[in-house]
């Protein structure tokens, strides 16, 4: 197998996927430890891979369709040409990064024939070599799909695996996490990630309220809600639902949505006794910190998206229609989809109790 010295990894995917690809990059560095690995990512994912032990450099490519996309492409092609990469590996099978690598004349351009779905794609015409993915995508962890791509490049055996690697947590991030938790009473701190990237991944706020009420009664816990700036309004809705249900016996519940960057979020999770979360990118960040967590799945399945942590417990109803990618209003059970409303607070509480009492 030929060795490469200057590798571009294309990962213009969402945050959770980028975190999962870092395990594949770790495999890449294991095969060619002297190679320089540069990762191409979206702006929102930059912090997950900057200052990362397995990634030497990060190139951020921010674009929106119709916003001088051609000009941005041309500028990025020139940037890639200057760096003289000898190998480009694609984790996304998207046209844009494949075209960038082709236009930049990177001599070896390798990508998968399948990565997110089974649909054939002409994007593979831009590769010099295509890695055939043989396993069932929906029944296999997505992290394994990414690592299968790398093994197809490096020739490593099927048993060769690696865990995802998040960015190093800085002292500044540690200080920020400590300051946030200082706003809560001392004792048991439980994080809540309440909003998915689309409605069919968002567990009902009424259920969060019921679970919080019971956890407060049993453990005297205090709670914080995490998410991005765009999640803050919904986080306030969940917080209001909790306070309304609990009445005078309400716990402390703070809304930290938009108050942390990704590295600070990781530092926060590292100091937390338990995380209760929907299936979202934050769950994959949390998995790298070792925090015990319970993850509720709706339209997606843990067979593919289970966080890579032995301390993660997942709950799913496994409706016959799952996994699905329909719009919420196209769901026959909307606005109370069975895949979410069928995952009851009692089941979540059972897993929370097991984790909090050490029955992992």
Domain limits, the chain = 6-154, 171-356
Q: How far apart are CA 359 and CA 106, in angstroms?
A: 51
Q: How far apart are CA 148 and CA 137, in angstroms?
A: 11
Whole-model pTM?
0.95
Q: How far apart are CA 243 and CA 125, in angstroms?
A: 56
CATH class of 171-356: alpha beta
| CATH architecture label of 6-154 | 3-Layer(aba) Sandwich (3.40)
Sign of the C-alpha dihedral computed for residues 246, 248, 251 and 256 taken in this order: positive
Identical fold between 6-154 and 171-356: yes
Q: How far apart are CA 352 and CA 346, in angstroms?
A: 10
Spatial neighbors of 44 by CB under 8 A, at least 6 apart, are: 15
Query: Taking the CB of residue 325, how many other CB atoms lie within 10 A of it?
Result: 10
Query: Taking the CB of residue 240, how many other CB atoms lie within 10 A of it?
Result: 14
Query: Taking the CB of residue 258, how many other CB atoms lie within 10 A of it?
Result: 15
* Rounded (10°) CA dihedral 290, 296, 302, 307: -20
Q: How far apart are CA 231 and CA 180, in angstroms?
A: 18
pLDDT tens digits, the chain, 360 residues: what are they? 688 999 999 999 999 999 999 999 999 999 999 999 999 999 999 999 999 999 999 999 987 766 667 888 999 999 999 999 999 999 988 899 999 999 999 999 999 999 999 998 999 999 999 999 999 999 999 999 999 999 999 999 999 999 999 999 999 999 999 999 999 999 999 999 999 999 999 999 999 999 999 999 999 999 999 999 999 999 999 999 999 999 999 999 999 999 999 999 999 999 999 999 999 999 999 999 999 999 999 999 999 999 999 999 999 999 999 999 899 999 999 999 999 999 999 999 999 999 999 876
Q: How far apart are CA 32 and CA 7, in angstroms?
A: 10
């Amino acid at each position: 197998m030929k060795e490469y010295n200057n590798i571009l990894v294309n990962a213009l995917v969402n945050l959770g996927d980028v975190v999962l690809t870092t395990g594949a990059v770790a495999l890449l560095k294991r095969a060619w430890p002297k190679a320089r690995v540069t990762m191409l990512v979206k702006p929102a994912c930059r912090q997950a891979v900057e200052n990362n032990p397995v990634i030497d450099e990060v190139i951020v490519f921010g674009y929106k369709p119709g916003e001088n996309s051609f000009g941005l492409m041309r500028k990025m092609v020139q940037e890639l040409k200057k760096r003289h990469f000898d190998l480009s590996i694609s984790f996304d099978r998207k046209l844009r990064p494949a075209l960038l690598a082709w236009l930049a004349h990177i001599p070896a351009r390798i990508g998968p024939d399948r990565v997110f779905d089974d649909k054939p794609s002409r994007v593979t015409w831009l590769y010099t070599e295509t890695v055939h993915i043989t396993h069932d995508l929906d029944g296999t962890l997505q992290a394994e799909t990414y690592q299968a791509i790398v093994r197809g490049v490096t020739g490593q055996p099927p048993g060769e695996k690696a865990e995802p690697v998040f960015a190093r947590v800085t002292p500044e991030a540690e200080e920020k996490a400590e300051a946030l938790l200082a706003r809560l009473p001392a004792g048991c701190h439980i994080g809540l990630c309440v909003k998915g990237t689309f409605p069919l991944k968002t567990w009902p706020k009424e259920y969060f309220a019921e679970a919080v009420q019971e956890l407060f009664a049993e453990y005297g816990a205090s709670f914080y809600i995490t998410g991005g700036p765009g999640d803050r309004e919904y986080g306030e809705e969940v917080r209001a639902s909790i306070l309304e249900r609990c009445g005078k016996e309400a716990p402390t519940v703070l809304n930290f949505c938009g108050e942390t960057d990704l590295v600070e979020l990781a530092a926060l999770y590292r100091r937390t006794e338990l995380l209760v979360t929907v299936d979202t990118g934050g769950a994959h960040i949390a998995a790298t910190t070792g925090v015990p967590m319970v993850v509720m799945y709706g339209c997606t399945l843990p067979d593919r998206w289970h966080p890579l942590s032995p301390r993660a417990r997942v709950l799913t109803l496994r409706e016959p229609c799952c996994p699905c990618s329909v719009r919420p209003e196209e769901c026959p059970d909307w606005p109370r989809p069975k895949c979410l409303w069928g995952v009851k607070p009692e089941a979540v509480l059972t897993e929370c109790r097991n984790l909090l009492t050490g029955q992992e």
